[in-house]
A and B are shown apart, each in its own frame.
Chain A
Amino acid sequence: MSPKTLYDKIWDAHVAHEAEDGTSLLYIDRHLVHEVTSPQAFEGLRMAGRPVHAPDKTIAVPDHNVPTTPGREDPSNMTADSAIQVAALDKNAKDFGIHYYPVSDVRQGIVHIVGPEQGWTLPGMTVVCGDSHTATHGAFGALAHGIGTSEVEHVLATQTLIQKKSKNMKVEITGKLQPGVTAKDITLAVIGETGTAGGTGYVIEYCGEAIRDLSMEGRMTVCNMAIEGGARAGLIAPDEKTFEYVKGRPHAPKGAQWEAALAWWKTLYSDDDAHWDKVVTLKGEDIAPVVTWGTSPEDVLPITANVPSPEDFEGGKVEAAARSLEYMGLKPGTPLSEVEIDTVFIGSCTNGRIEDLRAAAEIVKGKKIKEGMRAMVVPGSGLVRAQAEEEGLADIFKDAGFEWRLAGCSMCLAMNPDQLQPGERCASTSNRNFEGRQGRGGRTHLLSPAMAAAAAVTGKLTDIRDLT
């Protein structure tokens, strides 16, 4: 048998039909659904009189536009249009008989945090969601990617997706990371290296010692931003850490089924001589704590660097950089560590897990946020929130002056009331620094949870290594 990559193996195990030109029907094991990209899909089913093909494989949770302040179970505390979308999801989940975690459920949270937490996401699965950050689930060795609403409707109706196979790309991070360098720095550094279109047409497998050394939370952070590198999906081969994380979760297999699953999962790795269409290698020790300076996730620099000048670039990037710098209100040559911040956002499907909150709390402990700073922590799920409260992290944040919020996507995309005002500058653990992403005119610097916490304390972008 010819050697295969992990992607090849998962793909082959899920092809339900293949046409002569390679167009395939890929069977979907888990379909995650949220309130923003699904209403039109359910409406399409109703109009055609179609049921959901596999309601037991379909899981819904409202996350994008729910407020993160108390009293949100009452729709009158939401904006009217948000309330309509959440009510539509309530109704669709009930009418079509799919699994559902409503706003009032402690297990509610960001769909990409809830899926793994509840054991819906398992190695070797195909996972889709009408959300580009579905790549997160690749951390389990699951083939996971975002789809549009037409495809959401297609999966609801047929449990399959029309696909052509992507190419294989290996991203290897060798050796150890330096102190203060995190999974977020890895994933941003990779995008800085490849550009936001570098992964277009590929599925990435992340590997190497630095990836192996990451916790499951860290691996989810890395895979989460595969889409920002343009890739269809990001994958990490499952190992003992993966199995340990999955074991005992509510929807993970038990008993004899666990043993059978484990036996298959252990075959899910890329064969030594598998073919790669593209290989990118970074040395772990060369990765520094990084921040973004512009309005594309590829605008990444070490915190020790200066704001670049448009002339540092070539081609279309010259104009793009000039536009970014103007939008961001930054002068070329300014040290990034002197850029003053007025808002800090810790949360999102990229960095809203317990490990992220622990890392931020460690920096904040016993300190106060800078006067005038607006800082908030938005846990990724109700269960992350509960655990952080039990571990005393919530008190650390509150004592320091952070707002301690309920779970949701929040200021990552600012569809709920958590938004930046024009000109406000935010140190954010989220995934996109696009113009207007966190609010019209808002300026976003992407960084790790520890770096965001440090910025909250000092009032400017800060090298975490100076604080520890």
Chain B
Amino acid sequence: MDKFEKLTGVAAPMPMINVDTDMIIPKQFLKTIKRSGLGVNLFDEMRFDDDGNEIPDFVLNQPAYRNAEILVAGDNFGCGSSREHAPWAIKDFGIRCVIAPSFADIFFNNCFKNGILPIVLPQEDVDKLMDDAQRGSNAVLTIDLENQTISGPDGGEIAFEVDAFRKHCLLNGLDDIGLTLEKAGAIQSFETKAAQERPWV
């Protein structure tokens, strides 16, 4: 997995609540057997019209935000399906950090597995960053994972929380499966015990 240490980039504002995974990556793009290449389809139905032309109003089509690396969004971002195609598409587009007052559970987990940092902040902090993000290409934020801070264009700093284990994995780009297989002994002991206690499973 790609490491996430420090990111300085343009933040795009998306002040909608309940941005669902069908919006992030519509189902017709789930028929792939690869993880890569989904960035062109990110937010497809909001980003392109029926003929495939860009919808100019959509935030990621505006010149200032075409290379956004951070997304600032409303409550319950990523609700809906478990499709990991959603974070794959976000990352493939070039976005490595999403900031919102709350996230849906499965999407939140999926981000960490793909080197994307989802940050939960109180509404007033998100409102401030949304304001910053609305300044176009001047809306550059710096996310420092080690120190757990976000610096805005005016030099102000906002602290954020992140689970210690997930932070460790992101900072070091650690592969979960490799980490878990180090505990193969514990898994085997559990299986031996469970086979006696619940042989029908």
Q: B-contacting residues of A (Cβ < 8 Å)?
A: 13, 16-17, 19, 21, 23, 25, 27, 29, 36-37, 39-40, 43, 48, 50, 57, 64-65, 79, 81-82, 84-85, 88, 122, 124-125, 130-132, 145-151, 153-154, 157-160, 162, 164, 196-197, 200-201, 227, 230-232, 253, 257-258, 260-261, 264, 296, 315-317, 319-320, 323, 413-415, 422, 432, 434-437, 440
| Residues in B163-193 with C-beta less than 8 Å from chain A | 163-165, 176-177, 180-181, 183-184, 186-187, 189-191
**CB atoms of B23 and A39 under 8 A apart:** no
**CB atoms of A81 and B165 under 8 A apart:** no
**CB atoms of A23 and B165 under 8 A apart:** yes
**CB atoms of B76 and A125 under 8 A apart:** no
CA distance A164 to B112 in the complex (A): 14
| Residues in B40-97 with C-beta less than 8 Å from chain A | 45, 50, 74-76, 79-84, 87
CA distance A81 to B74 in the complex (A): 34
**CB atoms of B110 and A150 under 8 A apart:** yes
CA distance A231 to B79 in the complex (A): 11
CA distance A317 to B15 in the complex (A): 11
Closest Cβ of chain A to B175, distance in Å, is 9
**CB atoms of A148 and B106 under 8 A apart:** yes
Contact of B200 among A84, A261, A422 (CB under 8 A): A261
Q: Which residues of B contact A153 (CB under 8 A)?
A: 177
CA distance A296 to B20 in the complex (A): 9
| Residues in B1-51 with C-beta less than 8 Å from chain A | 15-18, 20, 22-23, 26-28, 30-35, 45, 50
Closest Cβ of chain B to A84, distance in Å, is 6
Contact of A16 among B82, B176, B187 (CB under 8 A): B187
Q: How large is the interface on B (under 10, 10 to 19, 20 to 34, 35 or more residues)?
A: 35 or more
B162 within 8 A of A: no
User: Could you list some 15 contacts between A and B, CB below 8 A?
Assistant: A17-B190, A27-B191, A36-B31, A132-B106, A148-B84, A150-B110, A154-B176, A154-B180, A157-B181, A158-B180, A158-B181, A159-B191, A162-B180, A415-B27, A432-B80
Known contacts A16-B186, A158-B177; A150/B113 CB under 8 A? yes
Contact of B187 among A130, A160, A437, A440 (CB under 8 A): A160
**CB atoms of B109 and A21 under 8 A apart:** no
**CB atoms of B82 and A147 under 8 A apart:** yes
| 6 residue pairs, one from A and one from B, having the closest CB atoms | A253-B200, A150-B113, A16-B190, A39-B33, A148-B84, A148-B110
Contact of B79 among A43, A230, A257 (CB under 8 A): A230
CA distance A90 to B20 in the complex (A): 30
| Residues in B143-165 with C-beta less than 8 Å from chain A | 163-165
Contact of B109 among A57, A81, A148 (CB under 8 A): A148
Q: Which residues of B contact A231 (CB under 8 A)?
A: 105
Chain B: CB-nearest residue to A44: B177
CA distance A317 to B28 in the complex (A): 28
Contact of A27 among B113, B184, B190 (CB under 8 A): B190
**CB atoms of B45 and A436 under 8 A apart:** yes
Chain A: CB-nearest residue to B26: A436
Interface contacts (Cβ under 8 Å), in number, total 181
**CB atoms of B81 and A131 under 8 A apart:** yes
**CB atoms of B106 and A320 under 8 A apart:** no
B199 within 8 A of A: yes
**CB atoms of B106 and A147 under 8 A apart:** yes
**CB atoms of A40 and B34 under 8 A apart:** yes
Contact of A432 among B22, B45, B84, B109 (CB under 8 A): B22
Q: Which residues of B contact A122 (CB under 8 A)?
A: 200-201
Q: Which residues of A contact B17 (CB under 8 A)?
A: 315-317, 320
CA distance A432 to B102 in the complex (A): 20
Chain A: CB-nearest residue to B175: A48
CA distance A21 to B177 in the complex (A): 19
B121 within 8 A of A: no
**CB atoms of A17 and B183 under 8 A apart:** yes
CA distance A193 to B106 in the complex (A): 22
Known contacts A148-B84, A150-B84, A160-B187; A434/B20 CB under 8 A? yes
CA distance A148 to B30 in the complex (A): 13
| Residues in B103-160 with C-beta less than 8 Å from chain A | 103-106, 109-110, 113-114
Closest Cβ of chain B to A77, distance in Å, is 16
Q: Which residues of B contact A319 (CB under 8 A)?
A: 15-16
Chain B: CB-nearest residue to A54: B191
CA distance A46 to B183 in the complex (A): 21
Contact of A88 among B18, B20, B33 (CB under 8 A): B33
**CB atoms of B177 and A154 under 8 A apart:** yes
Q: Which residues of B contact A57 (CB under 8 A)?
A: 201
Closest Cβ of chain B to A460, distance in Å, is 26
